[in-house]
Amino acid sequence: MLLMEETIDPTHLLIFALDGQRYALPLAAVDRVVRAAALTPLPKAPEIVLGVLDLQGEIIPVINLRKRFRLPERPIGCDDQFLVARTAKFPVALAVDSTHEVVRLSPEAVVKPEAIVPGTGHLCGVTRHADGLVLIHDLDTLLFPDEELQIAEALA
């Protein structure tokens, strides 16, 4: 696996919302944003996987961020979006309420997560935004290793 500093710029971000909170991913990890669509269940996938999406012939697992972030569950609505991104191992779609904007920050505007709370391995930074704090996620650590393995086996 490549180091985050070598591959991803944590200051060029796509901001998205989930349950009223702002989150972000480094823009380099994002392929596109698509409108939520019907999903096909994926047998033997971990419970964080809502199903799979057929996106122009590519089968992509859709990740339930609400479950990962311990937010209240709700069904996916027609106004929701899928944020299609690439991990080091395979593409994923993240079910989000909405996407907001692309921003470019100065490196000083991003606080390393260890400076706030040790052990937040799924974050690559935190920054301030007009609407409050934005948690910048490291897509390659969002899934646990056993979940990655289960998804890879279910897709095979």
d(CA 109, CA 112): 10
Residue 4 confidence (pLDDT): 39
Tens digits of per-residue pLDDT, 7-41?
Answer: 456 678 999 999 989 999 989 899 999 999 889 99
Q: Which of 58, 53, 46 is nearest to 81 (CA)?
A: 53
Tens digits of per-residue pLDDT, 72-121?
Answer: 999 888 889 999 998 888 899 999 999 988 988 888 888 887 777 666 66
d(CA 37, CA 54): 9
Domains and their CATH numbers in the chain? 4-155 (2.40.50.180)
- Rounded to two decimals, what is the model's pTM? 0.83
d(CA 105, CA 117): 22
pLDDT at 51 over 90: yes
pLDDT interval class at 152 (50, 70, 90): confident
87: Cβ contacts below 8 Å, ≥ 6 apart: 29, 139, 140, 142, 143, 148
pLDDT at 156 over 80: no
Residue scoring higher pLDDT (56 or 124): 56
Q: Which of 85, 112, 113, 120 is nearest to 99 (CA)?
A: 85
